[in-house]
Amino acid sequence: MNANPADSDLALAIGQRLEARYRHIHAAMADLSICNSVLSVAATGFRAFGGREFGIVTTPWSMNLVALDFPDAPQAAPAAVGTTARINLPAGEVDFIAGELDTIGRVDSCSLLSPVFEFATMEAAPETAEGAIRAFFDPSALEPPPAPAAPLNRRDLLYGKFRKHEEAMTE
């Protein structure tokens, strides 16, 4: 990830600012039917990567992977609000929708869940978010699955090749 502790502190602070902004938005949306009443707002797993900050924001209406620019740092390539921005993460390319959020600035979002009625408790949502953010930043997700074992046929079984095949698999 190539982040130093100062970057991590800044990422956490920006995540907290984002969380506060979404709490303000939630105050206006709390009575809407798309909101899961057991959820609140949480910013999870914020980290520096590639000159930007990434994390997951859970709200009572959605769970999004978000990308933000650091203050006083080079900004991401311009993108019109509502357009798709493709960002290369360790686990592969991810499509984000470019957006703007009052008091925050540019926030690119990738919807993971919306609405979020599958969560029965607030405790379950950040656990899911932690697993998701780990997956996006795990380069092993790009590794191809192991090749399937060679199929056996009846002839191999009849002529004792099954045992040799089985022994080769355990070595």
State how far the Cα of 46 lies from the Cα of 13, in Å rounded to an integer. Answer: 9
Report how far Cα 49 is from the mean position of its chain's Cα atoms.
13
Question: Token pair of 87, please?
Answer: 């960002």
77 Rama sector, left if φ>0, alpha if ψ -120 to 50, beta otherwise = beta
- The DSSP call for residue 74 is P
The pLDDT score that the predictor gives to residue 167 is 57
User: Which long-range contacts does 47-51 make (Cβ < 8 Å, 24+ apart)?
Assistant: 47/1, 47/3, 47/8, 47/11, 47/133, 47/137, 48/1, 48/3, 48/7, 48/8, 48/10, 48/11, 49/1, 49/3, 49/89, 49/90, 49/137, 50/87, 50/88, 51/76
The pLDDT score that the predictor gives to residue 171 is 56
Question: Token pair of 95, please?
Answer: 């499509």
In order along its 171 residues, the chain shows pLDDT tens digits of 334 444 578 877 888 899 999 999 999 998 899 999 999 999 999 998 988 999 999 999 999 999 998 887 888 888 899 999 999 999 999 999 999 998 888 999 999 999 999 999 999 999 999 999 999 998 776 566 677 776 666 666 666 665 555 555 555
The CATH number corresponding to 5-142 among 2.40.10.350, 3.90.550.10, 3.30.1460.40, 3.40.50.720 equals 3.30.1460.40
State how far the Cα of 39 lies from the Cα of 97, in Å rounded to an integer. Answer: 24
The pLDDT score that the predictor gives to residue 50 is 87
The pLDDT score that the predictor gives to residue 30 is 86
The pLDDT score that the predictor gives to residue 18 is 93
Nearest partner of 137 among 85, 43, 67, judged by Cα: 67
The pLDDT score that the predictor gives to residue 4 is 41
∠ at Cα 49 (92, 100), nearest 5°?
Answer: 90
The model's pTM: 0.76
The answer to whether 133 touches 125, Cβ cutoff 8 Å, is: no
The pLDDT score that the predictor gives to residue 6 is 47
State how far the Cα of 71 lies from the Cα of 68, in Å rounded to an integer. Answer: 9
- Extents of the domains making up the chain: 5-142
